Copies of this chain bind each other. A is one copy, B any other.
């Protein structure tokens, strides 16, 4: 049952289904569910709710407790604090991290924690390195994700495009999304791997407006330092990479705004 619900998170599974599948009495199913509920609660890994009645059942919602979230972020900070990640021009090499299953599970569960009690229909990101982040979040929220592309691709059908200013290089670029991937009125969470000036995130904001959809929130894996003003001001970050010292080749990473944003007003 744990396996089934973990592969179908945030989905109502009826007790009848479990009963037939495992050929067990309803009472022993209920007993097992309360063991699972207790385990998820004790370990701060999510909650299991049971809905009574004929159309009822059990729903497993994975997330992190504050304690687990802090530990997960501390791990990410440790991984990023490695001077050999420094590239020319103050950029930071993160590609290996967003290709590692253990990191992606942590990042997905963290960002899902932020939106666990919100109405979310779809996760949006821009190619390329935002995709693994979006997919991890989508897996935990059990919602689809859409990929905004940087240039026209013949295999996508009709698209909607917007121009945006890439903050860090001050250049006008274009991003587009296939017409049929996003419906009007959808509640959208925007995620990406890295934010500097916020131009790309701002572009996705415009795109959401073009589709008459609704922005629920924005979260990035890492936030870099920026000289001057940022184009978006309500984006959550898991970690902050600052004081990249190009001359001494050192990097300093720390926790981002995540814990404050997500657990700031909650009693957890």
Q: A residues within 8 Å of B by Cβ?
A: 2-3, 6-8, 39-40, 45, 87-89, 91-93, 95-96, 99-102, 104-105, 127-129, 131-132, 135-136, 138-139, 142-147, 149, 154-157, 178, 180-181
| Alpha-carbon distance between A145 and B131 when the two chains are bound, in angstroms | 13
Contact of A101 among B45, B89, B104, B144 (CB under 8 A): B144
Judging by beta carbons under 8 Å apart, are B155 and A99 in contact?
A: no
Q: Report the copy number of this chain in the oligomer.
A: 2
Judging by beta carbons under 8 Å apart, are A135 and B138 in contact?
A: no
Judging by beta carbons under 8 Å apart, are B2 and A96 in contact?
A: no
Contact of A39 among B3, B87, B127, B139 (CB under 8 A): B3
| Alpha-carbon distance between A176 and B102 when the two chains are bound, in angstroms | 25
Q: A129 contacts which chain B residues (CB < 8 A)?
A: 147
**Closest B-chain residue to A138, C-beta based?**
B101
Q: A3-B40, A128-B128, A135-B135 are in contact. Are A142 and B101 (CB under 8 A)?
A: yes
| Alpha-carbon distance between A108 and B257 when the two chains are bound, in angstroms | 33
Judging by beta carbons under 8 Å apart, are A101 and B143 in contact?
A: yes
Judging by beta carbons under 8 Å apart, are B39 and A99 in contact?
A: no
A135 CB to nearest chain B CB (Å): 5
Judging by beta carbons under 8 Å apart, are A87 and B157 in contact?
A: yes
